[in-house]
Structure 1
Amino acid sequence: MADYRNPDPIDIALHCARAALGMMERHRVPPHPENFSIWYAYVSGRNPDLTQAIDEILRTGTGFSAEINDTLYERFAAFTPEKAELREVGQRVEDAVGRMLEYLSHASQGTTKYGIALETFSGCLNTDAPAPSEINGAIAAVLTETRTMADLNRQLERRLASSGREIRQLRDALDSLQREASTDALTQIANRKTFDAVLSLAVREAESSRRPLSLLMIDVDHFKSFNDTYGHPLGDQILKLIGRSLIETIQAKDTAARYGGEEFAVILPETELDTAISIANDIRLRVAGRRVTNRRTGETLGQVTLSAGAAQFSPGESITSLVHRADEALYLAKREGRNRVMSQRDLPQDGI
């Protein structure tokens, strides 16, 4: 769910709120606060499990009864597993660091005692005529503290090595949680939450550098019909295929994301509109050139086509405006017959 202690930027929040209310109206979901919190989280891509649950309801056409709405809220609003995992790993990191500080403090105490023993021995030698017993006692004390210090160092080395391994494991766990939090579980590309964050950063960079920034919105043609005909597992196979095709087509500086359902988005920094249109066509042709096969039966199910809309950021405009213009170009591509790319140039008055 959304973390309201760290709210989204106003443009993103407004876009998500409008999208949430729009979807609630289309699916006849009463817009009270509990339902709104669920749909806001859905459109923002904050919770993959919630996204999967709502996607499944949309696919099956079950509808959103009061009971289903209540179940979604009880299941996803009060508790978020990813936050619990982060808290657990954070507590383990805190414990590991605490143990390391304790080990270092213990070693520091041993070093202090060793220093005192050396000072005592030095003071004994600096007297005019130290007695042999005094020298022997000082030497014995230094030897005892030396052995103690050696033992402490060995223990510290072992403990620090163990703590180092534990912290490396925790770092890997945090990296894994971060990947899971930022990645769509099905397609393994960025999720909606990551898309929003990356686009916000890309817009700020485009504003400051005055370099171009383009955005693609992409949708699978007739996806519901394919799902209804062949089933959801093969529908998921198509979504995975598109995710791979996006990654294979774009560059490292670009970001491909699953925007929601069968809709995808690609953020293209330092990219003019003409290049963005070309990239969208490359993606469209790459997907259309592949044939979807039922792995269980070996049956070839035909061609998958995409429609896409492209828009270029104009300095000073809002994120909502950029996304809306790319969306409008996408819907125009749908109206014009699908399996094509349209851009803001094709919109009335350049989509403004």
Structure 2
Amino acid sequence: MKYQDSLELAGEKAAQVKVFLQRAGLAAHPVNYAVCYDYISGHNEALCIAIEQKLAAKTSLDDFIMADLYSRYLVPANPQQEQLLQDAAGIVSRLTGYTDLAAEQVSDYLQQLDFSLMQLQQSNGENSLPLVEQLRQHTISFQQQQQQLQQQLEQANQQSHQLRHEIEQLKQQRLLDPLTGLYNRLAMQNQLDLWFTEQPGRRIAAIAVNLDHFNRFNQDYGNVIGDVILSKVARKISSYVQSSGLPVRSGGEEFLILLPDVDLRSASEIAEQVRRGVEKLRFVSAKSKRALPKVTISLGVSMFQHTENWHQFLARTTDVLKLAKQRGRNQVASEAMLTI
């Protein structure tokens, strides 16, 4: 067992977990319960810090965020990752062995060369021929050893290139949402940290996107069709983001577009283009061939303020998105409207 809690202590923690879940409006299913229990226990420092940051920024904890926390901090090590680490350790070990062997072979050859040269200097002409032949044989043997070693090094080099490629693929998978192919929260955090490290005063705009009445859509047509809709909407959103930007799936039916070096007006114009593009999408049921209801989105646009951290920035962007919903949905709201 992970924890050796007494029944009394486990009961106390369970009561605290229940209160936490109720306050956050979360269902008490296994993933949410496990995350909360770990948080209440306080043993997982990284998980505690992540949750505290979200609470400080007044981020709403939903099932998507909890699943993300579970996969990042509670899921046991990925077997594929473990295998890659073992492969990498094996290659490093072999390369070290080859290097040591090469040094040993060179040392032996140089000693034999010194010894043979000394004998040649001390011998007369008649006795030198066997010594020269012996030296030649040693040289041939050394060359063969070096050729074999070179082949081993080339093989290890090929394996290292393949391993590097697999590691890059695995790293990329860790940064992508499996359903939509957009970047996930981990990629978002990494990119924001990189942008702020490279240029602390950099201007960054955020567009929060939410599908209107999507829970009702899932109830009426099922999660399978709902996932198809999410994927197609995600592709449409991504099509409006240039290579410098970052399209992110930040929640169940929530997306986020991060745009560096873009002002509020330009970001709002991009948001309106995205809104119109999604509104034009048409969906047909594969079974009944009937047209499905039109899908619309609400969007909120804000600019990063350098007096806040990125958790506060994203929470403020969500507040702007709520304004778009309050004003009737299927529209764009910007933080400038909050001051009106």
TM-score w.r.t. structure 2 length? Answer: 0.78
Q: Partner amino acid for 2:157? A: G
1:114–1:142 CA contact under 8 A, matched in 2: no
Q: Which residue of 1 aligns with 2:224?
A: 233
Report the aligned-residue RMSD.
3.2
Q: Which runs of 5+ in 2 are unaligned?
A: 1-19, 55-61
Q: Is the 8 A contact 1:183 1:194 kept in 2?
A: yes
Choose the corresponding residue for 1:242, options 226, 233, 236: 233
Aligned residue in 2 for 1:104: 99
1:182 is matched with 175
Contact 2:209 2:255 in 1 (8 A): yes
Identity of aligned residues (%): 25
Q: Which residue of 2 aligns with 1:94?
A: 89
Partner of 2:11: none
Match of 1:80 in 2: 76
In 2, Cα distance between the equivalents of 1:217 and 1:226?
Answer: 20
Q: Does the residue aligned with 1:300 lie in a helix, a strand or coil?
A: coil
Return the alpha-carbon distance in structure 2 between the equivalents of residues 39 and 23 of structure 1: 19
Contact 2:26 2:63 (C-alpha < 8 Å) held by counterparts: no
SS of the residue corresponding to residue 292 of structure 1 reads coil
Which residue does the alignment assign to 2:5?
none
Query: In the superposition, relative to structure 1, how do residues 101 and 290 fare at CA in structure 2: closer, same or farther (>3 Å)?
Result: same
Distance in structure 2 (CA, Å) of the matches to 1:233 and 1:40:
34
Instruction: Choose which of 310, 320, 328 in structure 2 pairs with 1:319.
Output: 310
Q: Which residue does the alignment assign to 1:119?
A: 114
Q: Which residue of 2 aligns with 1:27?
A: 26
Distance in 2, matches of 1:316 and 1:54, equals: 30
* Residues 142 and 300 of structure 1, relative CA distance in 2, 3 Å threshold: farther
TM-score (norm 1): 0.76
Where structure 1 has 5 or more consecutive residues not aligned to the other structure, the ranges are 1-20, 46-52, 59-71
Match of 2:280 in 1: 289
User: Structure 2 CA distance, aligned partners of 1:325 and 1:332?
Assistant: 11
List per-residue Cα deviations over 1:5-32 (Å, max 9, x = no partner).
xxxxxxxxxxxxxxxx688621265795
Contact 2:196 2:202 (C-alpha < 8 Å) held by counterparts: no
* Deviations 1:231-280 (CA, angstroms, capped at 9, x unpaired): 11111111111221222111111111110100111111101001111111
- Give the match for residue 144 of structure 2: 151
Q: Determine if contact 2:21/2:27 at 8 Å carries over to the other structure.
A: no
SS in 2 for 1:316: coil
Residue 300 (structure 2) aligned to one of 309, 320, 339: 309
Q: 1:264 aligns with which of 255, 265, 273?
A: 255
Q: What displacement does 1:109 show? A: 1.7
Matches of 2:51 and 2:252, distance apart in 1: 10
1:333 corresponds in structure 2 to 324
Counterparts of 1:196 and 1:169, CA distance in 2: 28
Query: Partners of 2:90 and 2:284 in 1: how far apart?
Result: 51
